[in-house]
Structure 1
């Protein structure tokens, strides 16, 4: 009983002493010098294991220099953070540049010889 209480107390102390999660971090590549490949907001579940915390200004510099923003947490559009202007394509801003192209024609379903009734196969 005492060991269970001691273990719970240690776990609680560990939770209290855990450092705060960074507000931003950069996911690092595997090449020479491990360049940053993606910027994430803190707490993003899609980040890889190779990462390092960065301050807001560095995250903004990385995004402005062309480093990709995570498509899941979207740190470049996170509320409460200064937005970076990213080039808006016609579908991102909701405007269409013209009429939509017609849908491609539907193909007939494939029929195999095995699906035909017996006696209608090859002679």
Structure 2
């Protein structure tokens, strides 16, 4: 049935040793992954909860806040920190921009996600803007 194997004993023994070495490598890798699996599961369970609101910080002296984002926002930069709803509301009323929608075809505005209006953000992570074109890039467009 399997006549594609070599006909002599020396080559068959060589193949057997080679396959035994590969089986040992595979078994070692399986054992290593099985040891890591509980650690990774524990890491997933103990991961801190995502913040409801994030403030993006500027550069320079004092690192002033530049934009407010919903927690988990893909557009939030690396210089950021989580903030409670009350601080996000205070920052928005003081003139800090809310990274919002309207530009580049993102999701429709969600007024319930505005910390000035809502008690807590909704489960959706789509961004809602206080104004339709509140994104800084939208302000650079000429008026029509």
TM over 0.5: yes
Q: Secondary structure at the match of 1:48?
A: coil
Aligned length: 89
Q: Secondary structure at the match of 1:53?
A: strand
- Give unmatched runs, 5+ long, in structure 2: 1-29, 102-106, 119-129, 134-143
- Give unmatched runs, 5+ long, in structure 1: 90-100, 102-123
The two structures have a TM-score, normalised by structure 2, of 0.53
The two structures have a TM-score, normalised by structure 1, of 0.61
Q: Which residue of 2 aligns with 1:77?
A: 111
Q: For 1:2 and 1:88, how far apart are their aligned partners in 2? A: 54
Q: For 2:116 and 2:85, how far apart are their aligned partners in 1? A: 9
Distance 1:35 1:79, change over 3 A: closer
Output one character per residue of 1:86-119: Cα deviation in whole Å (capped at 9) or x when no partner. Answer: 5789xxxxxxxxxxx8xxxxxxxxxxxxxxxxxx
Deviation at 1:78, TM superposition (A): 4.1
Deviation at 1:75, TM superposition (A): 9.1
Distance 1:87 1:48, change over 3 A: closer
Q: For 2:109 and 2:72, how far apart are their aligned partners in 1? A: 11
Aligned pair 1:54/2:83, yes or no? yes
CA RMSD, 1 decimal: 3.1
Residues 12-31 of structure 1 mapped to structure 2, 5 A cutoff: 12-31=41-60
Structure 1 ranges of 4+ moved more than 6 A: 73-76
Distance 1:87 1:51, change over 3 A: closer
Between Structure 1 and Structure 2, the one with more helix by share is 2
Output one character per residue of 1:32-68: Cα deviation in whole Å (capped at 9) or x when no partner. Answer: 1000000001111111000001000000000000000
